[in-house]
Amino acid sequence: MSIWLDDPKRLKPLVGQAHQVAMNMLRPISRKYDKAEHEYPKELDMLAAMIDGLAESGASEGAGAAGVKRSDEGDDGSVRNGTNLASVMSIAEMCWGDVGLLLSMPRQGLGNSAIASVANEEQHERFDGLWASMAITEPGTGSDSASIRTTAVRDGDEYVLNGEKIFVTSGERSDAVVVWATLDRELGRAAIKSFVVPKGTPGMTVERLEQKLGIKASDTATIRFEDCRVPADNLLGSPEIDVKQGFAGAMATFDNTRPLVASMAVGCARAALDLTRDLLAQAGVEVDHDRPGLVQSAAAAALLRLEADWEAAYLLMLQAAWMADNRRPNSLEASMAKAKAGRVGSDITLSCVELCGTLGYSEAELLEKWARDSKILDIFEGTQQIQQLIVARRVLGLTSAELK
């Protein structure tokens, strides 16, 4: 099956709608909530209701950062452009408006992608409409998700959770938290499962909200679990520990969320490129795409290089999402997209600040904000270094024990 990475015609109305939302609803309040860290953007309630209405009517597919669910249809050999591709394309447009506000959207949390990736059909139905954040990182574990120390012990019809999670996006605002915990530390990766813990569950406490460099509109929480009891059927997917499968069940979540994070970086970087191109034009700098950069000004040559880097990240993002829509394994491509987009997103936004000088560094424009916002997209959902390690293992055919 060949891969066709042109923008699907049927998704263009959705992308256009997302761009209009970004331009008319997110951009105007972007600076306001950057300055008012942890204040909930009430304007998003109306936007979330509108997206819900479009989704229920079938008029829009994949609007916002909804959890991406792979099709259950049989593989008949036809090419699909489905929810995954719609999601990354619309998210990129929304992040052209504001990354932090996109991450603050009700019912659009990264935990929703975890539910879509791992949950069984009954759980999909039961948790439909839930706003779920995702709690993976712990003090001392960093990017090594397999070394999770939070425990889940079966007690009758419940699991008892104990541990601490840090850097939980929307951890205070969301309806529930998808918590990664181990059923048996001695069994390593295979024993790690995810649990849906509703807000207000006794034993779950939001300890603090973090002060951050960027995405200030999005709350980032530290959450403690102390003898926190959740129903046994809130364990997503199968409770069985399959040592042969290892970490595969949990990693399916990342295969879906990493292209989403790549799309956030792509959208933020494109915002910086678009504004920089306009500001350079106002300063009399002409960028000619029909001539080599070597025969143009240094500023024009730099912008051409940044645009080429952006195009590569964009295509990798589309490839990872397209493969998921077409039921093809995409772990390698998801990590490649996330690694490339995360790195060039940071490079592009900071380079645009430099190209625009005092205008780029000051709050007169949003360039400095985009440079701050983009850095997290190279860190969360697996750092740049972790993605490169995953890519190397896949390409060389080595296990995590063979290549660390």
What is the predicted pLDDT for the residue at 241? 82
Residue with tokens 């049989």: 74
Q: How far apart are CA 194 and CA 132, in angstroms?
A: 12
Residue with tokens 């712990």: 138
Q: In terms of Cα–Cα distance, which of 166, 55, 178 is closest to 114?
A: 178
- Positions annotated as catalytic residues are 381
- Contact status, residue 63 vs residue 14, Cβ threshold 8 Å: yes
pLDDT: which is higher, 50 or 67: 50
Identify the helix (H) or strand (E) that includes residue 198.
Answer: strand 192-198
pLDDT: which is higher, 71 or 119: 119
Residues in the chain: 404
What is the predicted pLDDT for the residue at 98? 98
What is the predicted pLDDT for the residue at 225? 98
Top CATH class of 131-234 equals: mainly beta
Identify the helix (H) or strand (E) that includes residue 166.
Answer: strand 158-169
pLDDT mean over 197-221: 97
- Under 8 Å CB-to-CB from 68, ≥6 apart: which residues? 62, 83, 84, 87, 113, 116, 117, 256, 260, 321, 324
Kindly report, residue by residue over 168-184, the tens digit of the pLDDT.
999 999 999 999 999 99
Q: How far apart are CA 262 and CA 260, in angstroms?
A: 5
Q: How far apart are CA 114 and CA 259, in angstroms?
A: 13
Report H helices in 185-328. 248-282, 298-325
What is the predicted pLDDT for the residue at 64? 40
Identify the helix (H) or strand (E) that includes residue 226.
Answer: strand 220-231
Top CATH class of 248-396 equals: mainly alpha
What's the CATH code, domain 9-123? 1.10.540.10
Pair type for strands 132-135 and 176-182: parallel
Mean pLDDT estimate for the chain: 89
Same fold, 131-234 and 248-396: no
Confidence class for position 70, pLDDT limits 50, 70, 90: very low
| pLDDT of 334 over the 90 cut | yes
Neighbours of 72 (CB within 10 A): 7
The domains of the chain are located at 9-123, 131-234, 248-396
Angle between helices 248-282 and 367-375 (to 10 degrees): 160
Report DSSP state, residue 148: -
Predicted model pTM = 0.92
What is the predicted pLDDT for the residue at 80? 72
pLDDT mean over 44-57: 76
